Amino acid sequence: MCRALGVSRSWYYAWRKNPMSRREKENEGFVEEIQEIHEKSRKTYGSPRVHAELNEKGYLIGHNRVARLMKKNNIRAKAKKKFKGTTHSKHKHPVAKNLLKDIQVRKHSQLGYISPYQFESQKELEKVA
């Protein structure tokens, strides 16, 4: 078996006894911490912020290692959506009349009403509808 793998007998039995290295165990712990921080940030933190959080918690870990672990475990920050303006006010079309501007609205002070506002007359309500 050792000849087939190209390793010494002592290395093979040491590996069988403890197959995970110290660094692999550390990485598993870091991945759990990274996932916790990432979830707490609502998946908005990338590797620089996660690295800063880990350093604040007292972990000694490099930013490249954090980035590598995040990439390996498919932990990614959500991209911020670009603002898209939807109002185009430089047009030559007529602007609609503001029907709500002329309506007089009176606020109810009594409890028990469904709506906090009441129209002065039924005609004003019909103008809006």
* Residuewise pLDDT in 10s, the chain (129 residues): 778 888 898 888 888 888 888 899 999 999 999 999 999 999 999 999 999 999 999 999 999 999 999 999 999 999 888 888 888 778 888 888 887 777 666 555 544 445 555 655 556 556 655
Contacts of 1 (CB under 8 A, 6+ apart): 12
Residues 37 and 62 in one domain: yes
pLDDT for res 76? 94
Residues 32 and 71 in one domain: yes
pLDDT for res 75? 94
Asked if the structure places residue 67 within a domain, the reply is yes
pTM above 0.75? no
Q: Strands 117-119, 105-107: parallel, antiparallel or unpaired by DSSP?
A: antiparallel
Residues 40 and 75 in one domain: yes
Alpha-carbon Rg of the chain, whole angstroms? 32
Place of tokens 């185009």: 88
Place of tokens 């009441």: 118
Q: List the domain range (segments joined by +) for residue 110.
A: 96-129
Residues 57 and 102 in one domain: no
pLDDT for res 56? 95
pLDDT for res 17? 85
pLDDT for res 23? 92
pLDDT for res 110? 46
CA distance 57 to 52: 9
How many structural domains are present in the chain? 2
- The phi and psi torsions of 19 (rounded to 5 degrees) equal -70, -20
CA distance 48 to 29: 18
Place of tokens 């390996």: 72
CA dihedral for 34, 40, 46, 47, sign (positive or negative): negative
